[in-house]
Amino acid sequence: MIGLSLEGKVAIVTGASGGLGRAICLKLAEAGCAGVVVGYRSNEGRAEAVAAEVRERGADALTVSADVGDEEAVQGLVAAARERFGRIDILVNNAGSCPIGTFDDTPVEDLDLAYRSILRSTFLCTKHVVPVMREGGDGRIVNVSSTSGVTGGTMGPAYGPVKAAVVAMTKYSAKTLTKDGIRVNCVAPGYIDTEMYYEANPDLDVRARRIADIPLGRIAQPEEVADVVLYLVSDLSGYVVGETVLVAGGRTT
């Protein structure tokens, strides 16, 4: 039996009403998770639809609304997960906003938005989930960065630098939490076929130029990134610790 099974595990996925979050939830359910917590900020309809798809795949699902940049909301998310399932084995820090622009037209508030939705949320969710993982003696955390976090990117001065901090947060977390049986890694996708990509790249010529830059000649489907997340939370990656895996169709090579 290949060690991809997540039989009996309970997972929290943040930003799970979005494109990549949904794909990750479904992948975790297909891999045998007993419970998937669909964390979302405000789109209840979409979160409930994701939960229904999770249930169709045989896992229990719980939707929890939480702004993951807010500590009390994160504490509520973790408490709700624990109350329903009694344990948390997997955390995917996926939520994030992508402010676009240049230094000339990016207000400092955009940097605050990226920081709050991406880095502060990763810090808070990790901080509050880890004690529950420690009780269970086993944990796997995957942080979602971006190729922008490795190369600096082209989205603007607010996004890539904050995504770079997620890579450092992954390394710090791995160095300090592995001894507790908690394995932390990071995935850094290139362009993914989700709302974020189309909102950040409304111009068709820009999209064409971006695709021309990708050796595979296309952007990623969310499921292709979710496959790598599944690998990182499974036993197949048991000796992979603190790494950032680029999923970019060759664009960064």
Ligand X SMILES: NC(=O)c1ccc[n+]([C@@H]2O[C@H](COP(=O)([O-])OP(=O)(O)OC[C@H]3O[C@@H](n4cnc5c(N)ncnc54)[C@H](O)[C@@H]3O)[C@@H](O)[C@H]2O)c1
- Give CB contacts under 8 A, 24+ apart, made by 211-215: 213/251, 214/190, 214/248, 214/249, 214/250, 214/251, 215/249, 215/250, 215/251, 215/253
> Does residue number 160 form part of the binding site for ligand X (CB under 6 A)?
no
Interaction of residue 126 with ligand X, rule CB under 6 A: no
- The catalytic residue among 117, 121, 145, 163 is 163
Q: In this complex, which beta carbon is closest to ligand X, that of residue 3 or of residue 198?
A: 198
Q: Which is nearer to ligand X, 25 or 174 (CB)?
A: 25
The answer to the question of residue 72 lying near ligand X (CB under 6 A) is: no
Residue 93 belongs to what H/E stretch? strand 90-93
Residue among 192, 226, 230, 246 that touches ligand X (CB under 6 A): 192
Q: Are the C-beta atoms of residues 145 and 167 closer than 8 Å to each other?
A: yes
Write out the binding residues for ligand X, residues 101-120 only, by CB under 6 A: 117
User: CB burial class (10 A; 0-12, 13-18, 19+) of residue 233?
Assistant: buried
Q: Which two tokens stand for residue 20?
A: 């990549």
Which is closer to ligand X, CB of 181 or CB of 217? 217
Residues making contact with ligand X (CB under 6 A): 14-15, 17-21, 41, 67-69, 94-98, 117, 121, 144, 146, 189, 191-192, 194-197
Q: What is the set of active-site residues?
A: 146, 159, 163
